[in-house]
Amino acid sequence: MIKKLYIIGNGFDIYHGINSSYCSFREYCRVNEKDLYNKLENYYDDSDLLWSNFEIGLSTLNPKQVMAIAKFGHEGWNTSLKDMYAFVDGVQNEVDYLQISLKEAFVEWVEQLEQGSKNLRLFFNVNDALFLSFNYTHTLEDFYGIPKSKICYIHGRAENQFSQLIFGHCCNENEIEANMPDDNVLEEEAVKEIVNLLINLRKDSNAIIQQNNDFFQKLISVDNVYVLGHSLSVVDDLYFEKIRQVVSPNSFWTVSCFNDADKANLKRLMNKLNVPVSQYKLIKIENIDNEFNLTLNFDK
């Protein structure tokens, strides 16, 4: 009977010395994908937000910046049909490039991540446990010998350069369209292309949950949930809502927090899930070794 669920986030890999932060992805693009890097820096008003909260940040693309690049060299875009079509084609080219190049670069970056250190291994009681990993790496298998059959790689697992890795923001189509300019009807076709790009940069968490329904149904007897290295960002709320629905209503949640932002996200999520304060506690990830006596004082 499954009694424990370990939820693994990017902080788990970082703890093990794997340089898998999105800031690392930024540096990888800056060095290896200069054209993509420059476009992203141009098309996002707050590039620091993009790279620090990558999935959420993907939705904040500035459509006017994309259109400004496409209008360059086509000054008659709003007076000449030829230039109008060239402008729309330019936007479509930018959209296609971003959509393809970003996903390819992301997979290539994940593939080249170094393994990290096995000297930092934690204690897991795995006999009656399952693992839900938001990571793409094989850390659980390589460092801990946990069978792949016990792990759900909810967003895919890095196998090779053709791996289908899932990432993206959580804005729906109405939210995307609400952030598009609508003051110039001549830009309408170009705007549609950018809307399609942002829809394609969105992860459909509901569909992903349905595809992995067999795994979630195995969690009905879980009474201890451990969240290790996950920032609890709003972009993954639907997964946690599903977990809350299927595990025992009295399940106790033990959650690692790295900083005050993680702590705030934890309180937000626990409130959203209606988990009372008496049913969760905060730890530092290295304190998982003391599984049955976990405490953390954030004032120290």
- What CATH number does the domain containing 144 carry? 3.40.50
Residue 234 shares a structural domain with residue 140: yes
pTM flag (> 0.75): yes
Residue 151's nearest CA partner among 68, 230, 215 is: 215
pLDDT of residue 299: 31
Residue 146 shares a structural domain with residue 267: yes
Residue 212 shares a structural domain with residue 158: yes
**In-domain check, residue 297:** no
Residue 191 shares a structural domain with residue 48: yes
Residue 151 shares a structural domain with residue 52: no
pLDDT band at 209 (very low <50, low <70, confident <90, very high): very high
**In-domain check, residue 24:** no
Alpha carbons within 13 A on the beta-carbon side of 289: 5
Say how far apart CA 263 and CA 244 lie, in whole Å. 19
If one counts every other C-beta atom within 10 angstroms of the C-beta of residue 220, the result is 12
Residue 191's nearest CA partner among 82, 295, 62 is: 62
Q: Please say which residue of 200, 221, 249 terminates a domain.
A: 200
Residue 92 shares a structural domain with residue 124: no
Q: Please say which residue of 152, 185, 200 terminates a domain.
A: 200
**In-domain check, residue 299:** no
Q: Please say which residue of 179, 200, 221 terminates a domain.
A: 200
pLDDT tens digit sequence for 83-129: 888 999 999 999 999 999 999 999 999 999 988 877 777 777 788 99
What is the count of structural domains for the chain? Answer: 2
**In-domain check, residue 217:** yes
Residue 64 shares a structural domain with residue 142: no
Residue 217 shares a structural domain with residue 104: no
Residue 139 shares a structural domain with residue 260: yes
- Tell me the longest C-alpha to C-alpha distance in the chain: 72
Residue 247 domain boundaries:
4-18+114-164+205-290
**In-domain check, residue 186:** yes
pLDDT band at 289 (very low <50, low <70, confident <90, very high): low
Residue 14 shares a structural domain with residue 79: no
Say how far apart CA 120 and CA 254 lie, in whole Å. 20
Residue 157 shares a structural domain with residue 273: yes
Residue 205's nearest CA partner among 88, 55, 70 is: 55
**In-domain check, residue 188:** yes
**In-domain check, residue 273:** yes
**In-domain check, residue 102:** yes
Say how far apart CA 104 and CA 32 lie, in whole Å. 12
pLDDT of residue 73: 80
pLDDT of residue 76: 81
Say how far apart CA 19 and CA 16 lie, in whole Å. 9
pLDDT tens digit sequence for 239-275: 999 999 999 999 999 999 888 888 899 999 999 999 9
- Look-up of token digits 């400004």: 68
Residue 105 shares a structural domain with residue 223: no
Q: Is the pLDDT of residue 298 over 60?
A: no
